[in-house]
Structure 1
Amino acid sequence: MQIGIFTVGDVTADPTTGRTPTEHERIKAMVAIAQKAEEVGLDVFATGEHHNPPFVPSSPTTMLGWIAARTNRIILSTATTLITTNDPVKIAEDFAMLHHLADGRVDLMMGRGNTGPVYPWFGKDIRQGINLAIENYALLHRLWREDVVDWEGRFRTPLQGFTSTPRPLDDVPPFVWHGSIRSPEIAEQAAYYGDGFFANNIFWPKEHFQRLIGLYRERYAHYGHGTPEQAIVGVGGHIFMRRNSQDAVREYRPFFDHSPQMGGGPSLEQYMEQTPLTVGSPQEVIDKTLTFREHFGDYQRQLFNVDGVGVPLKTVLEQLDMLGEEVVPVLRKEFARNRPANVPDGPTHVALRDARDDRAESAGSAA
């Protein structure tokens, strides 16, 4: 099980002080959070991609490249790479370059985003969102696996004899997750390619995501990649901890109530009941997170959001200390308990390279 954190990079006022960090402060804070995540023993740091205020991560590869130079072990990922509005050629080249610089500690999560106006900003039609996601990824998939590509599609100019450079490290492309909160077509796409499916279940009830993950597992097996239980699944979470739950709820409530995403609707208590949000003690975070396996089956990656809605950096770093010291060791032990031997581990570059080499050796022996 890979356990890590993801950020959306929002610049939000702290409702307890009224102060809003500058963009510079927020960007530097995200770097500090990533470094702290490695320090406390987490496996993954992931950043979203946004091109509108109040968010700052408009260039994930720039940020992840900077972090790669300051870390040694942690996997660096996107929590969304906009496959609809980014040119797949540029995605192929940018992430291959990052893949080399980080010595393979890179993967990415394809998504369509949740900001409608981004489409015309990049010359795209939101009504073609699903079709763009499918066609653009089909091209990206080929660019990383074929040295010379001829291509013609609906949404970009044709390619003739094109080679994307640099080639992926060890000729093994970065692992791809397809992230979705609502679209069965994206679960189908992930299954077709044998890629990972990340259900970022932080806003909606579990039943919706059980259906999406169930569809992905079924179709993964249909396309011959393995059994449904061997499909590569990731899920989200949203946490805030203090030593006892009363202090956690009291401290977090202003952040929840003033959140543009969560405030103004159900109460904090109702929201926790209906979604993965856990505000409480480390043990409560452990207990709730362990229910995710009951809902979704054995899975490979768990990412938590700990830094949004105006929570100041000092508090976020305290959350990471508790996560690394008290929560993650227990989760690793419990998730490993009774885990079937045929369920794969979370993807890494080394494991993907070794699997490729094993397949080539087996094919050579058979010949």
Structure 2
Amino acid sequence: MQFGIFTVSDVTTDPTTGETPTETERMRAMMRIAQHADQAGLDVFATGEHHNPPFVASSPTTLLGYLAASTGNIVLSTSTTLITTNDPVKIAEDYATLQVLSDGRMDLMMGRGNTGPVYPWFGQDIRQGIPLAFENYALLRRLWEEEVVDWEGRFRTPLQGFTSTPRPLDGVPPFVWHGSIRSPEIAEQAAYYGDGFLHNNIFWPIGHTKQMVNYYRRRFEHYGHGRADQAIVGLGGQAFMRRNSQDAWNEFRPYFDNAPVYGHGPSMEDFTTTTPLTVGSPQQVIERYAEMREHVGDYQRQLFLVDHAGLPLKTVLEQIDLLAEEVVPALRAEMEAKRPAHVPANPPSHAERVAAARAAEAEQAAEPVKEGENA
């Protein structure tokens, strides 16, 4: 199973010091966080995509391309690529380039984002969000899978004889997740294509997460991609840890109370009860997240948000170390001990996807030619 971190790239004032990092400082901190996660042995680093303050992750492939050259093992991903407001041609080009630069050490998650004004900023209508997600992704797949594309749709100019460059590494496109918090249509889309589904449930009760994941699983099986329990699932999460639980509560409370994303709303006590946010000792985080499989089944990727709300870089790096040294080994051992042999432990790697593609090609080539087919 893969464990990692994701960033929303917020630039937030530290409520304990009153200091606000510059955008440059925040971006450099994100690079340091990803590199530290790689050195600590985490499996995934993912970045969101936003085009408005107070966020700075407006160009995910630029950041991930830099990290491809400055990390060695960690999978580089997105915790949203905006399929609705980015041109699918540019997505095809940018992420194939990242795939080549990282030697396949990447994947990406499609989503619609959580900022309504982004639609008119990029010339789109938010009321068409779901149709845009469907049409743009269908075109993206064709751009990756077909050498020459002729295409016409509702939301962009037609393509005639178009070839996206560079071509996907080894002729195999990146693995794709679809992320949605509340839209079953997106879970349906993920299931239809046999892609992964990630429910970033950081603001939601586990009952809602269970409902969305189970719907995706049923539809994955319906479309013939395997059994429901073999569907590729990821979850979001949040944690703040100190070895002493009360120290964690005392230290994190001012960040929680003042954070733009959830400050001035429910109390930290209520929020930790109703969402996956876990504030306490590493053992408490282990116990809380070990329960997730009881609700959603065996899953393949768990991402944690640890660098938000104005937390200083030093503190974030300490959180990564606690995850890597104490939480992840225990969770991995427990999750894998209970996973049935027929259920994938990880999302498919690039090497596995290439092997599957070559096996399918060999099987197709070995099929006997039907009588008269070449006449």
Q: TM-score, normalised by structure 2?
A: 0.97
Q: What is the CA distance between 1:101 and its match in structure 2?
A: 0.4
Look up the SS of the partner of 1:95 in the other structure. helix
Deviation by residue 1:106-126 (Cα, 9 ceiling, x = unmatched): 110000000000100000001
Corresponding residue of 2:214:
214
Corresponding residue of 1:54:
54
Corresponding residue of 1:13:
13
Matches within 5 A, 1:36-55: 36-55=36-55
Corresponding residue of 1:358:
359
Look up the SS of the partner of 2:261 in the other structure. coil
Q: What is the CA distance between 1:352 and its match in structure 2?
A: 1.1
What residue identity is the alignment partner of 1:39? Q
Unaligned 5+ segments in structure 1 are none
Deviation by residue 1:231-265 (Cα, 9 ceiling, x = unmatched): 10000100110001100000000000001121222
What residue identity is the alignment partner of 1:169? L
Structure 2 distance, partners of 1:351, 1:188, is: 24
Corresponding residue of 2:266:
266
Q: What is the CA distance between 1:364 and its match in structure 2?
A: 3.9
Corresponding residue of 2:315:
315
Deviation by residue 1:118-150 (Cα, 9 ceiling, x = unmatched): 100000001101111110001001111000111
Corresponding residue of 2:156:
156
What residue identity is the alignment partner of 2:310? G
Corresponding residue of 1:116:
116
Unaligned 5+ segments in structure 2 are 369-375
What residue identity is the alignment partner of 1:352? R
Structure 2 distance, partners of 1:278, 1:246, is: 12
Corresponding residue of 1:347:
348
Corresponding residue of 1:234:
234
- The range that moved more, 352-361 or 312-321, is 352-361
Corresponding residue of 1:191:
191
Q: What is the CA distance between 1:292 and its match in structure 2?
A: 0.7
Corresponding residue of 1:98:
98
Structure 1 distance, partners of 2:367, 2:152, is: 37
What residue identity is the alignment partner of 2:325? E
Look up the SS of the partner of 1:174 in the other structure. coil
Deviation by residue 1:125-179 (Cα, 9 ceiling, x = unmatched): 0110111111000100111100011110000000011110000000110000000
Corresponding residue of 2:132:
132
Q: What is the CA distance between 1:363 and its match in structure 2?
A: 3.6
How many equivalent pairs are there? Answer: 367
What residue identity is the alignment partner of 2:302? Q
Structure 1 distance, partners of 2:333, 2:70, is: 29
Structure 2 distance, partners of 1:43, 1:63, is: 17
What residue identity is the alignment partner of 1:343? V
Structure 1 distance, partners of 2:363, 2:273, is: 50
Structure 2 distance, partners of 1:347, 1:249, is: 38
Structure 1 distance, partners of 2:350, 2:32, is: 24
Deviation by residue 1:67-89 (Cα, 9 ceiling, x = unmatched): 11001111000000000000000
Look up the SS of the partner of 1:178 in the other structure. strand
Corresponding residue of 1:280:
280
Corresponding residue of 2:371:
none
Look up the SS of the partner of 1:144 in the other structure. helix
Corresponding residue of 1:32:
32
Structure 1 distance, partners of 2:358, 2:343, is: 20
Look up the SS of the partner of 2:328 in the other structure. helix
Q: What is the CA distance between 1:297 and its match in structure 2?
A: 0.3
Deviation by residue 1:301-356 (Cα, 9 ceiling, x = unmatched): 00000000111100000111111111111111111012111111222111111222
What residue identity is the alignment partner of 1:137? Y
Look up the SS of the partner of 1:12 in the other structure. coil
Structure 2 distance, partners of 1:7, 1:239, is: 13
User: What is the identity percentage for the equivalent residue pairs of Structure 1 and Structure 2?
Assistant: 69
- Alignment RMSD, CA only? 0.9
Corresponding residue of 2:298:
298
What residue identity is the alignment partner of 1:55? F
Q: What is the CA distance between 1:99 and its match in structure 2?
A: 0.4
Look up the SS of the partner of 2:338 in the other structure. coil
Mapped pair 1:2 → 2:18? no
Structure 2 distance, partners of 1:359, 1:202, is: 38
Q: What is the CA distance between 1:366 and its match in structure 2?
A: 4.7
Structure 1 distance, partners of 2:53, 2:290, is: 35
Look up the SS of the partner of 2:93 in the other structure. helix
Corresponding residue of 2:176:
176
Q: What is the CA distance between 1:365 and its match in structure 2?
A: 4.3
Q: What is the CA distance between 1:219 and its match in structure 2?
A: 0.5
Structure 2 distance, partners of 1:19, 1:126, is: 36
Look up the SS of the partner of 1:69 in the other structure. helix
Structure 2 distance, partners of 1:359, 1:132, is: 31
What residue identity is the alignment partner of 2:350? H
What residue identity is the alignment partner of 2:357? R
Structure 1 distance, partners of 2:146, 2:347, is: 25
Structure 1 distance, partners of 2:349, 2:74, is: 11
